[in-house]
Amino acid sequence: MKRLKRNFDGLLLAVALSVGAVAPTVLSGCAQAASAPVGGYTIVKTYPHDPTAFTEGLFYRDGFLYESTGLNGRSLIRKVNLQTGFSEAERIVDSRYFGEGIVDWGKRLYELTWTNEVGFIYDIDTFEKIGEFSYPGEGWALTRDDKQLYMSDGTSFIRFLDPQTLKETGRVEVTDHGVPVRNLNELEYVKGELLANIWQTTRIARIDPKTGNVVGWIELAGLVKEAGASAKGDDVLNGIAYDAAGDRLFVTGKLWPKLFEIKLAPAK
């Protein structure tokens, strides 16, 4: 998810690519594992995005984007004007914490932290901190449907959380034809599927949240170039938001100067 501090990004990238189910993998007892179909996209519209934002969480609500950023000392949550990319409101996260994913639930906004095993509860209108919650392991991303929250933690598992108590109620492992898909990062629930950025790749997985099966991939390598990002360092694709009422899907990346509304193209 993160980490400007890594000197071994290249190694991590190699590991991510080798285990991240991007490439077909040989399974014992099988010949070559199949992988889910890969679809593309078309750009509907391009918006400005703060190029200093180390984007960790993103969602859309009532005409605004809500974004969280990471890194110790640079983490914040904010309400962003989609058209201008500027903050309408923001709150700085204590530098002890590396901010991670966010999601709304009613009048509350929940935020994860990377390794502190603590999450924050804010009033979504004022950004006043009104509580905390805890969880074991790392926190990477959050999203929701109308019944529960979904949380990624950098592994191949998605946790289900009770939206009131924030306690885990279950989990599912994400696999593509039986191969675990690790480094699940930013999430968005879209029309019954979970979309997940795969950290340090140019792909989004489309996941059936009931089974964990990857039903398809979205290849966004072209957007990296379009955004003027390298995607070889920390400026990787991360951030998915969905405007259900307008059926608009938004994606961006860490430190990207642009945010895109895209439409998905069928797999070939």
Who's near 210: CB < 8 A, 6+ residues apart?
172
CA 207 remoteness from chain centre: 13
Annotate each residue in 195-214 with x if it binds Ca ion (CB under 5 A) or - if it does not, as one string.
--------------------
For residues 25 and 152, which CB has a smaller minimum distance to Ca ion in the complex? 152
Q: Which stretch binds Ca ion (CB under 5 A): 21-29, 76-84, 150-158, 181-189?
A: 181-189
Number of CB atoms found within 10 A of residue 265's CB: 12
Place of tokens 């069928």: 266
Q: How far is the CB of 30 from Ca ion (least distance, A)?
A: 34
Q: Indicate the residue among 100 and 188 with the shorter CB distance to Ca ion.
A: 188
Nearer to Ca ion, 50 or 188 (CB): 188
Shortest spacing between CB 239 and Ca ion, in angstroms: 7
Question: Do 226 and 43 form a contact (C-beta atoms < 8 A)?
Answer: yes
| The one among 188, 234, 235, 261 contacting Ca ion by CB under 5 A | 188
Which lies closer to Ca ion via its Cβ, residue 82 or residue 179? 82
Rounded Cα distance between 160 and 52, Å, is 31
Per CB under 5 A, which of residues 231..260 are in contact with Ca ion? Answer: 240
Tokens of 190: 């879209």
* Tokens matching residue 141: 């991303």
CB of 142 to Ca ion, least distance (A): 8
CB 114 within 8 A of CB 151: no
Nearest approach, Cβ of residue 163 and Ca ion (Å): 15
| Residue type (1 letter), 126 | T
**DSSP 3-state assignment of 267?**
coil
* Part in contact with Ca ion (CB under 5 A); list of ranges 9-17, 46-54, 180-188, 216-224: 180-188
DSSP annotation of 106 reads T
Cross-strand pairs, 129: 122
Residue nearer to Ca ion on the CB measure, 35 or 252:
252
Q: Of 33-92, which residues contact Ca ion (CB under 5 A)?
A: 58-59
In the numeric block, which tokens belong to residue 226?
Answer: 């379009």
Tokens of 153: 């933690």
Min dist CB 240 to Ca ion, Å, is 5
- Smallest gap from residue 26 Cβ to Ca ion (A): 33
| Residues at the interface with Ca ion (CB under 5 A) | 58-59, 188, 240
